[in-house]
Chain A
Amino acid sequence: MKRIGGFFKDINKNKVLLLMALPATLWFLFFSYLPMAGVVIAFKEYRNSRDGFWASIVDSKWVGWDNFKFLFSTNDAYIITRNTLLYNIFFIIVGLVLAVTMAIILAEITNKKLAKVYQTGMFLPYFLSWVIVGYFVFSFLSFDKGMINQIGSWFGAEPTQWYTEKAYWPFIIILVFLWKSVGYNSVVYLAAIMGIDKSLYEAAMIDGASKWQQIRNITLPMLKPLMTILTLLAIGRIFYADFGLFYQVPRDSGALYSVTNVIDTYVYRGLKATGEIGMSTAAGLYQSVIGFTLVIVSNWIVRKWDKDNALF
């Protein structure tokens, strides 16, 4: 009885904040949690029933872990896991460093008009779909009409068949990724820098701190919470790969699969012939569970070091 009373007292004490959390909570319930019940499909051989979706789920046969098997059945399992992980680790680290660096540069540039122009420019790649980016990369790398081979020929270089030379592709993929994402990601950090209390810098100036010392001792520590959070969130998606980047940009070239095949492209190609939604749901669940586990572990580590910056 006392506990229940305490509960209502707590509710009452927090009622305004609870009310503020309510709209988004409802949203999450409807658009995220309700559909989550659908993950049972991952363990079913899904067949339509004429009585609608729920009847279909109930009527479909349980198949246990069968839907997951295709992710682990061959040598490719190792390749796609390795590719997905390595690319993402690289994206997270280099992406973070470059986004923060670019944000600091933009914040420090004296001429604010120019800074605005640069920043607008950096944002443009975000608007181009991967299909268009794919065309663009092709206009550089095409064997007979591509700019790189043409420029090479002025210096007497032999033309290269870029779309079959897998040695170059890890670099091309990373380059294209950074090109497309750094501008977007630097905005968050730039906004955070602008939120830093200016009096901190003023005090540092009075103490005679150099620019570099200001960045190291004020800007970076103030950005740390954001860097931690964004990195933790990125770790959660470490088993997901951007489909377009690995499919459209290398033009689905078979010769490059050993360096471009990732979990998402593998699933797409593998299910083209059978279209089993049970198997695609299983793949998504696998990606989520691994990501979830990794976040929980990293969050636990962050908590040990620095309680305030953890996710939860």
Chain B
Amino acid sequence: MSKVRKSFVTTLVLMLALSLSLSACGGKKEESTGTPEKPVELIWYTIGTPQKDVDRVMEEVSKYTKEKIGATVKMNMIDWGDYTQKMQVMTASGTPMDLMFTSSWAFDYVQNARKGAFLPIEDLLQKQGKGIVDTLDPAFLEGSKVDGHNYGVPANKELPAQSVWRFNKNLVDKYKLNLDNVGSLESLEPLLKTIKENEPGTYALAVDKTFNPIVPFDYIIENMPMAVKVGDKDLKVVNILETPEMKQTLATMHKYYKAGYIPTEAATLTSLSDVQATGKWLTDKATNQPFADNLWSQSLGYPVVSKAASPALIYNWSVMGSMQAISANSKYPEKAMEFLNLLNTDPVLRNMIDSGIEGVHYKKVGDDAMENLPESKNYDMPTFSLGNVMLTYRDKNDPENKWDEFKKFNDSGEKAPLLGFNFDPSKVTTEIAAVQNVKEEFWASLMTGTVDPDKFIPQATAKFKAAGLDKIIAEAQSQVDAWKATKK
């Protein structure tokens, strides 16, 4: 044993010595201002399946930006599923970069802003980012503040989120279903019944494990049981499973499940793409945007109609749906902001980034419309992730008033109660880890109606309490109260 101990000590000493020598090689910083003659290079990480022609397009983009702001652009794309993990490792290790994509659903914006991954940009916005401030609906910048600072530029796109019931129009027509009274979950019942009785093997209410029934609450952390009721002036944080609204809804879901309207294995179903391909479904829940019906019909290959199921509300997560942030260790933050400013105000640059090189990847058919050329398969970018969407040329098949409708939709949105509030979990990380595990255990089976809420809500609540839910709620409440006080 003593030999072992000796080796252990030697090892530790070695490790320490090496790590010290390593820390000596810390990074140096150099300041530089870019000019068209001697431009700086901006390193940009963004989400999406890597495209073959990225470097080629960036070469063109760089020519343009060199002229305009004295900077060139190097874009690295990281695929959807890897983005969060890779960015977390890269930011934690201080990898040099200037710009990066962040959002509420991939490489979490609030979380990483708090960890110090991004640069606060209020000052830069005032100096180099004037155009952004002028273009964006103020709700975007206001809603994406974390602890009073802006850490990213939200993309100008649809602002509120509205749930709808989508219907497979073929089935609606076949059974002459009346959609006029559709709204609440309960209102679907006669339709579901018709399909269940006449179309065996068809999912009447197509629900998979990600399903969340519509209840008028704003979550503190998305899909964790702490929430505030929409319209509650006091902003009281409650356990959502104990609210009458949720209990009622889950009871209905369970009724539907027992009646066979919902897929038997909904709680573990990862995707509905099979039934969507075959058209063996009547209705499901989706999130609306202008002209969504056209989009869905086009992508599914058969007509789809939708009916509003909830009011359009502006949530934190909908505001933060797509953002570009400047890295905390960026060498050229001013240039980066100038670039973001250009990306959000200059149609030439924005469309080059989005659709590639004119004449190669796309051709223009009118002032603000374009058509993809065959080469566009080598440069197919996720439009929403790359700044101001409303600058992009519409496809020649899109309606002319596309962006006007978006603006109207944005204006129609009302603020959710917690818009602008971001929970800081650092005091309750232990409890959150435990509660998260309990949530995962019960959530999908409750929300899909698979289990009896009368039996399982008490079980879940007891386990949540044991895991420290009350402590999180108390902490959330005190933060919400403090936030409320600053707002008045």
- Direct touch of chains A and B (CB < 8 A): yes
A59 to chain B, nearest CB (A): 9
The answer to the question of B111 belonging to the interface, with a C-beta cut-off of 8 Å to chain A, is yes
CB pair A251 B270 closer than 8 Å: yes
Q: How far is the CA of A164 from the CA of B26 in the complex (A)?
A: 53
Q: Which residue of B lies closest to A138 (CB)?
A: B268
For chain B, residues 314 to 354, give those with C-beta under 8 angstroms from any C-beta of chain A: 328-329
B436 at the interface (CB under 8 A from A): yes
Contacts of A252 in B (CB 8 A): 209, 268, 440
User: Which residues from chain B contact A196 at a C-beta distance below 8 Å?
Assistant: none
* Cα–Cα, bound, A250→B443 (Å): 16
Q: A73 near B221 (CB under 8 angstroms)?
A: no
Contacts of B451 on A, CB cut-off 8 Å?
Answer: 255
Residues of A within 8 A of B92 (CB): 46, 48, 53, 56, 277
Answer whether residue B441 sits at the interface, using C-beta atoms and an 8 A cutoff.
Answer: yes
How many angstroms from the CA of A65 to the CA of B14 in the assembled complex? 25
Closest partner residue, chain B, to A277 (CB atom)? B92
Max count, chain A CB within 10 A of own CB: residue among B93, B119, B432, B433:
B433
Once bound together, how far apart are the Cα atoms of A277 and B19, in whole Å?
A: 19
Please choose the segment from A10-18, A116-124, A213-221, A268-276 that sits at the chain B interface, where 4 or more of its residues have CB less than 8 A away: A268-276
CB-based contact A47/B115 at 8 Å: yes
A254 to B439, CA, bound (A): 9
* Contact for B115 among A33, A48, A254, A296, CB less than 8 A: A48
What B residues does A144 contact at CB under 8 A? Answer: 264-265
Which of B162-170, B240-248, B423-431 is the contact stretch? B423-431
Whether B437 pairs with A273 at a CB distance below 8 angstroms is no
CB distance from A28 to the nearest CB of B (A): 10
Within 8 Å by CB of B267, from A52, A74, A254, A276, lies: A254
Q: Is B117 an interface residue (CB 8 A)?
A: yes
Interchain CA distance A255-B460 in the complex, whole Å: 12
Instruction: Tell me whether A34 is interfacial, beta carbon within 8 Å.
Output: yes
Given A48-B91, A74-B434, A277-B88, check contact A37 B224 (CB 8 Å). Answer: no
Within the assembled complex, what's the spacing in Å between the Cα atoms of A269 and B27? Answer: 35
B-chain residues with CB within 8 Å of residue A129 when the two chains form the complex: none
User: A312 to B4, Cβ gap below 8 A?
Assistant: yes
- Chain A residues whose C-beta falls within 8 Å of the C-beta of B94 in the assembled complex: 48-53, 55-56
Does A279 touch B at the CB level, under 8 Å? yes
- CB contacts under 8 Å to B, within A251-301, are 251-255, 257, 261, 266-267, 269-277, 279, 296, 300
A residues 184-198 in Cβ contact with B at 8 Å: none
B3, B15, B438, B445: the one contacting A34 at CB < 8 Å is B15
Query: 1/0 contact trace for B440-462 toward A, CB 8 Å?
Result: 11111100001100000000000
The chain B residue with its CB closest to the CB of A41 is B92
Q: Is A66 an interface residue (CB 8 A)?
A: yes
B116 touches A33 (CB 8 A): no
A48 and B265 contacting across the interface, CB-CB below 8 Å: no
- Measured CB to CB, the nearest residue on chain A to B93 is A53
Would you call A199 an interface residue if the criterion is a C-beta within 8 Å of the partner chain's C-beta atoms?
A: no
Within 8 A of A (CB), among B245-286: 264-265, 267-268, 270
Q: Which residue of B lies closest to A29 (CB)?
A: B18
For residue A129, give the distance in angstroms from its CB to the closest CB of chain B.
Answer: 13
Known contacts A29-B14, A37-B18, A56-B94; is-contact A273 B466 (Cβ 8 Å): no
Q: Within 8 Å CB of B9, what residues of A?
A: none
Report whether B429 and A254 are in contact in the complex, using a CB–CB cutoff of 8 Å: no
Smallest Cβ distance from A154 to chain B, in angstroms? 19
Q: How far is the CB of A270 from chain B (nearest CB, A)?
A: 3
Does B2 interact with chain A (Cβ within 8 Å)?
Answer: no
Chain A contacts for B18, CB-based, 8 A: 29, 33-34, 37
Chain A residues, CB < 8 A from B450: 164
Q: Tell me if B267 and A274 are in contact (CB < 8 A).
A: no
Closest A residue to B96 using CB positions: A52
- Chain A residues near B468: list those with CB within 8 A: 73-74
Whether B22 sits at the interface, judged by CB under 8 Å, is yes
Contact: A254 with B444, CB < 8 Å? yes
Set of chain B residues within 8 Å of A75, measured between Cβ atoms: 463, 466
A139: Cβ under 8 A from any B Cβ: no
A76 CB contact (under 8 Å) in B91, B437, B442: B437
A240 interfacial contact with B, CB 8 Å: no
**Interface membership of A36, Cβ < 8 A:** yes
B327's nearest neighbour on chain A, judged by CB, is: A50
Are A253 and B437 neighbours in the complex by a CB distance under 8 Å?
Answer: no
Contact of A47 among B116, B430, B443, B467 (CB under 8 A): B116
Q: Is B267 touching A253 in the complex (CB atoms < 8 A)?
A: yes
Decide if A270 touches B27 in the complex (CB within 8 Å). no
| B425 and A274 form a contact (CB under 8 A) | yes
Contact at B436–A52, with CB atoms within 8 Å? no
Q: Is the CB of B437 within 8 A of A300?
A: no
Contact A48 B328 (CB under 8 A): yes
Measured between C-beta atoms, what is the minimum distance from B111 to chain A in Å? 6
* Across-interface contacts of B430 in A (CB, < 8 A): 66, 69-70, 73
Is B485 an interface residue when CB atoms closer than 8 A count as contact? no
Name A292's closest neighbour in chain B (CB-CB). Answer: B8
Residues in B whose Cβ lies below 8 Å from that of A270: 432-434, 436-437
Q: Are B440 and A73 in contact (CB under 8 A)?
A: no
Counting CB contacts under 8 A, is B108 at the interface? yes
| Docked pose: A74 CA to B438 CA in angstroms | 10
Given A53-B94, A300-B1: A70 and B433 within 8 A (CB)?
yes
Q: Does B429 contact A257, Cβ atoms closer than 8 Å? A: no
Q: Which of A50, A163, A269 contacts B437 (CB 8 A)?
A: A269
Set of chain B residues within 8 Å of A271, measured between Cβ atoms: 433
Interface string of B99-122 (1 = CB under 8 A from A): 000000000100110011101000
Q: List, in ascending order, chain B residues with CB within 8 A of A54's CB.
A: 22-23, 26
Residue of B nearest to A49 (CB): B116
Could you list 7 further interchain pairs (A-B, Cβ under 8 angstroms) beyond the known A33-B11, A37-B19, A49-B94?
Answer: A34-B15, A46-B92, A47-B116, A50-B94, A74-B438, A254-B443, A269-B437
3 nearest interchain CB pairs? A270-B433, A37-B19, A52-B94
A-B contact pairs, 29 of them (CB 8 A): A33-B15, A48-B92, A49-B116, A50-B94, A52-B93, A55-B94, A73-B430, A73-B433, A73-B434, A74-B437, A76-B434, A76-B437, A144-B265, A163-B268, A252-B209, A254-B441, A254-B442, A255-B451, A257-B437, A269-B440, A271-B433, A273-B436, A274-B111, A274-B432, A274-B433, A275-B115, A296-B4, A300-B1, A312-B3
